[in-house]
Amino acid sequence: MDVPAKAPSAPPTRPWRQAAILRVIRASYERDGRPPTIKELQDATGISTTSVVAYNLRRLQEQGLIRIDDGMSRGIRLVLQEGETCPLCGR
């Protein structure tokens, strides 16, 4: 019996909350030269609570896209991916 070949799968998509959070973090760095606070992320993305923002930040950190410095109000750092540049930090 022949087994049908699997259709090529699309690249995984990031949940909308995580994608929105990344956009706001990048925009904050470009506009202000610093990361947003969790409350600012909540306001900018329309996410219902700061705990949902924090949950999604942890998921982004697990994926290696950001680094979180605990205990700091603006302790979110973007992790450059291969091919990305950072004009503010000269890389």
Task: Output the pTM of the full model.
Answer: 0.75
Three-state DSSP class for 73? coil
Which residues make beta-bridge pairs with 78?
66
| Residue 15, CA distances (Å) to 6, 33, 41, 60, 75 in order | 24, 26, 15, 10, 22
Q: Domains for the chain: give ranges and CATH numbers.
A: 16-78 (1.10.10.10)
In tens digits, the chain (91 residues) has pLDDT values of 455 555 555 455 679 999 999 999 999 999 999 999 999 999 999 999 999 999 999 999 999 999 999 888 899 999 976 555 555 554 4
